[in-house]
Amino acid sequence: MSAAERTVRPVSIASFAQSQNVRKDDERNEVEGLMPVIAEVFGNIGITKDDVGFICSGSTDYLIGGPFSFVMALDAVGVWPPKRESHVEMDGAWALYEAWVLLQEGEIDAALVYSFGRSSLGDLNEILTLQMDPYYEAPLWPDIVSLSALQARALIDAGKATEADFAAIASRSRRDALSNPKAQVAKDVSPEVLLQDEYVVAPLRRHALPPITDGAAAIVLAAGDKAREWSDRPVWITGFDHRMETHSLGARDLTSSPSTAKAAEMAGVASGKVDVAEIHAPFAHQEIIVAEALGLDDSVVINPSGGPLAANPLMSAGLIRIGEAAERIRSGKADRAVAHATSGPCLQQNLVCVLEGE
């Protein structure tokens, strides 16, 4: 079934909130970090937890080192009387997808989605190795930076990018982040200066890596009358899809992203002009791959928020892309936006969400 043949119930991004993105939030536990975000996402539109019929969260226990930490996190919402609730061990963008699917059923009209994660508590390189194939890859402890560097090298060898391109993306991201008060890394620095950075794992220099970020984010989805009641200019989800590729790293063409392209096709990205794209490309070179897979032309404004190179709170950075894209529409700076989220090594899994204003 193509995107055009699908019948979707209009669902809007009614509210978005995110924490300050910081290198290390070591004063608060997960609940204490989430509560202000939940309060803000409800407060933006003057509702309470009693106004949502479903709660879905995205997080991973390995970040905190505590099994079932997502259960404890529910204390930040207060799930009494008993709430309909779910959790995905994925970025919050996938939790948003689950909530969107549930809203399609028509039984409920609003949902809360949130995500959280402190990347600073453990050794991120070791933690992220646990997402690799446990037989063939994880026993060697390949870190995410090295794996991304393999992808960057493949891109360079294929003639699709240069190190200068990576620096240009990092430079633009950090400059754009100057206008994002929630960003962690924001500065005006030229690509030429960035190219003097040391290699972390060649061919990736320091600037091509995302910062290590602690943060949380939340979105309220609304359908039907509630969407109009809670917003003067609803931002509608008009296409939504996610796809994944094989777990076998060496069986993939790392220079392209067929899963992004398929998700974009199913979400109907090409059925209208795209004004802005928020791309969840944690490593600079990945933006080139995703932009190509999404079919974006040079007129599209990419990551005006600064994107994940300015703040990369694990498990939230994808959800934030959707929230930031929605805010561009709500503020009138764009009419149609594409938000992308990724998970897994080297863009293994990808999600595409198309947003439109009225």
**Chain residues in the site for other proteins (CB under 8 A):** 26-32, 35, 38, 49, 62, 64-65, 72, 74-80, 120-123, 125-127, 129-130, 134-143, 146-147, 149-154, 157, 199, 201-204, 246-251, 254
Nearest to 54 by CA among 284, 220, 187: 220
Per-residue tokens: 355: 């947003």
Nearest CB to other proteins, comparing residues 63 and 266? 63
Q: Is 315 helix (H, G, I), strand (E, B) or coil?
A: coil
Per-residue tokens: 5: 């043949």
Q: Concatenated DSSP letters for 2-32?
A: -GGG-----EEEEEEEEPPPBS---SS-HHH
Half-sphere exposure of residue 188: CA atoms within 13 angstroms, side-chain side: 2
Nearest CB to other proteins, comparing residues 76 and 88? 76
Point out which residues pair with 156 in neighbouring strands: none
Nearest CB to other proteins, comparing residues 56 and 355? 56
Nearest CB to other proteins, comparing residues 130 and 189? 130
CB of 122 to other proteins, least distance (A): 4
CB of 116 to other proteins, least distance (A): 13
Q: Backbone phi, then psi, for 151, in 5-degree steps?
A: -70, -40
CB of 281 to other proteins, least distance (A): 18
Point out which residues pair with 239 in neighbouring strands: 354
CB of 77 to other proteins, least distance (A): 5
Cα(354)–Cα(346) distance, integer angstroms: 23
CB of 30 to other proteins, least distance (A): 8
Nearest to 240 by CA among 324, 353, 143: 353
Nearest CB to other proteins, comparing residues 13 and 76? 76
CB of 346 to other proteins, least distance (A): 10
Cα(268)–Cα(278) distance, integer angstroms: 16
Cα(15)–Cα(43) distance, integer angstroms: 9
Nearest CB to other proteins, comparing residues 81 and 181? 81
